[in-house]
Amino acid sequence: MSNGSQPKLLIPALNPIYTALNPLLDPLLRIITGLWLIPHGAQKLFGWNAGPNQPVGFDALSQAFEKYLHLPGVFGPLAALIEFVGGILLVLGLLTRPAATIVFVELLIAFITVHLPNGFFADAHGFEYVLMWTALAGVVAVRGGGRFSVDALIGREF
């Protein structure tokens, strides 16, 4: 495998399938990442499917971030807006790299400040879920919107 050669496939007959599906994987990853972020932002902003003790709206989010996370209150609404608007931008593939980078940073902060101290499992508010979405946002930030994006349509990637 020296000189940049590709590894041999275990089942060479699958190569046409891999080749055909490969261009669809980046857009699929970008769209799913965005679609899964939108409800999380909407839940915080508008109360969509919010639990009885979940803060909803700018004021409640600000108070929760100050009280429970000991962070400036402005970060609560900012996180919700990043998830909601960033998710929409990722689905569209508009300003993909900047949006994905901002989402990546927001999720990385959530990973470190909120979820990491709770251990691995998501059912105990651990980091497994948020770390996966952080990684996905990072991949989208590096790879960009791809050919099925508004960025590609306007001929400009940022």
pLDDT digits (tens, 9 = 90+) for 11-39: 999 999 999 999 999 999 999 999 999 99
Q: Which two tokens stand for residue 118?
A: 């709770």
When computed from its CA atoms, the radius of gyration of the chain, rounded to whole angstroms, is: 19
Once rounded to an integer, what is the mean pLDDT over residues 41-63? Answer: 82
Residues 34 and 87: beta-carbon distance below 8 Å = yes
Instruction: Give the pLDDT score at 3.
Output: 60
Phi-psi category of 2—alpha, beta or left, where left has phi over 0 and alpha has psi -120 to 50?
Answer: beta
Q: Please state, in angstroms and rounded to a whole number, the distance separating the CA atoms of residues 46 and 50.
A: 9
| Cβ contact 41:49 at 8 Å | no
Predicted confidence band of residue 4 (pLDDT cuts 50, 70, 90): low
CA distances in angstroms from 87 to 32, 119, 133, listed in the order given? 9, 26, 12
Average pLDDT, stretch 77-93? 97
Given a cut of 90, whether residue 133 has pLDDT beyond it is yes
